[in-house]
Amino acid sequence: MFVLPVNPYPATRRIHSEVVAGGLAGRAGAALRELAGEPSATPSIRSTPSTPETPTIAPPTERGPGKSASRRTAAPPTAGAQTVPAAAAAATAATTAAAAAAQVTQITPPVPLTPPVPLAVRLRRTLSPVRLLVTASLVLLSLTVWWMVQQRRQDVARRVWRQQQDAVEQALQAGDLPLLTTSLERVVEAAGILRRQDAEAQRAEGLLRQCRAVNQLSQLDLVSSLEQLSAGNQVTDDRLTAEVRGLVFVFEAVLKPQAEPAGVLELDLPLLTGARRVRILTAAQSLRQLQSAAPQRPVLFAGTMQAGQTNPADGSLQLRLDDSSVVILTEAVTAGAAGYSVADAGVAELLRQQQLFLGYAPAAEAGGSGKTVAEPVGAKP
């Protein structure tokens, strides 16, 4: 690598010759500013003050060895001779001040600035054909990979759907609640991937909600919980809500519509805690449709307590169910897990009627094929 002592390149409109002749960093910065369309830095104005010359006084000449000094005493200086150094100093100060005031300014001729690059030109430079082709190729490759992954997931979901449907039917026949819950979770997950909203997918989701509800049943019954609360201090709304919130119970009762507020149903249950009556209210859509279809038929369902309050009129305790947690029981395995006898003819008939209401045909009505067929009978929840 050879370094030239002078700059052989001429100056351009944007780059000075001294910038190009600089180091590697200066050249790279100038090249980047040239590509970006930015004008180069405006040359600075350099001022070179002239240095005043101070007059020097020659030293006195020495006498040579051949010359003898005068033996006479030098005469004292006169008044006119004493004013000479003062005049010289004043002249020197005046010359220095005049030189400082009359500085010679050396101005470098300015380089004309180029106008800013328009936006259209910059976009044309940025969106070059090569860059557009590379970007389109990357987008197409990403979409292809995403499509292949989605197809793979859907293929696996279809296989899981077919396999776990058979496992669900076997668990229903055997009364195996843990196996039924695990199989239904996989079926519901596969239905979500496949985006299925048909009757089979709705049935699988409903059965899974039943299994989860009976698996989360409270170990203590509702009356015992309220008796422990009444045995303490005065019952308040906050204490009542804190005592019953989140508890899951299974109810079998006739639903009675209330005049006020409209759309609210009360469970016809003879519940008492001490001298207070316990009223359970709900406004679940599925229960209202079932009560409209069969007003006098009891309903077997599970629900979660949401809040409680005391009625100042009669002193009763009003408990409100979480409407989104209400699930109607339709299978013998879930009813058996809730404590109901599967051999009871009344429970079996109640489950069959609720299956028909929700559109689930019992296995015995599926023509002996071993598969449950969904029949849209009655209103759906």
Q: Tell me: the pLDDT tens digits for 147-204? A: 999 999 999 999 999 999 899 999 988 889 999 999 999 999 999 999 998 888 989 9
* Best CA proximity match to 240, nearest among 253, 259, 227: 227
For residue 10, is pLDDT > 70? no
In a domain, 215, yes or no: no
Please say if the pLDDT value at position 144 is more than 80: yes
Residues 235, 293, single domain; the answer is yes
Residue 36 lies in domain = 1-42+111-124
Task: Say if 63 falls within a structural domain.
Answer: no
Mean pLDDT within 45-71: 46
DSSP assignment of 173-222 equals HHT-HHHHHHHHHHHHHHHHHHT--SHHHHHHHHHHHHHHHHHT--SS-H
Question: What CATH number should be reported for the domain holding residue 278?
Answer: 2.40.50.110
Residue 30 pLDDT level (bands cut at 50, 70, 90): confident
Region 68-74 average pLDDT: 44
Query: Residue 67 falls within a domain, yes or no?
Result: no
Assess if residue 27 is contained within a domain: yes
Query: Do 361 and 238 share a domain, yes or no?
Result: yes
**Domain-ending residue, one of 124, 153, 180:** 124
- Asked if residue 264 and residue 315 are part of one domain, the reply reads yes
Q: What confidence score (pLDDT) does residue 9 get?
A: 53
Can you tell me the distance from the alpha carbon of 190 to that of 158, in angstroms, rounded to the nearest whole number? 7
Whether the per-residue pLDDT at 76 is higher than 60: the answer is no
Band (pLDDT 50/70/90 cuts) for residue 107 is low
**Do 116 and 171 sit in the same domain of this protein?**
no
User: Is residue 354's pLDDT more than 50?
Assistant: yes
* Any domain includes 341: yes
Q: Give residue 13's pLDDT band: very low, low, confident or very high (50, 70, 90).
A: low
> Is residue 323 exposed (0-12), middle (13-18) or buried (19+ Cβ within 10 Å)?
middle
Higher-pLDDT residue of 241 and 97 is: 241
Number of domains present in the structure of the chain: 3
Shared domain for 289 and 338, answered yes or no, is yes
Q: What is the pLDDT of residue 103?
A: 54
d(CA 41, CA 113): 9
Q: Give start and end residues of each alpha helix (H) in 231-299.
A: 237-244, 285-293
Cα-Cα-Cα-Cα dihedral sign, residues 283, 284, 288, 290: negative
> Does residue 253 sit in the same domain as residue 360?
yes
The percent of residues above 70 in pLDDT, for the chain, comes to 68
Average pLDDT for residues 262-272, to the nearest whole number?
87
**Average confidence score pLDDT of the chain:** 76
The answer to whether residues 354 and 280 belong to one domain is yes
Question: Once rounded to an integer, what is the mean pLDDT over residues 207-236?
Answer: 81
Q: How far is CA 89 from CA 16, 53, 255, in A?
A: 47, 13, 122
Encoded tokens for 54: 């101070």
Whether 206 is in a domain gets the answer no
Whether 244 and 328 share a structural domain: yes
361 in the same domain as 325: yes
Place of tokens 């599925």: 286
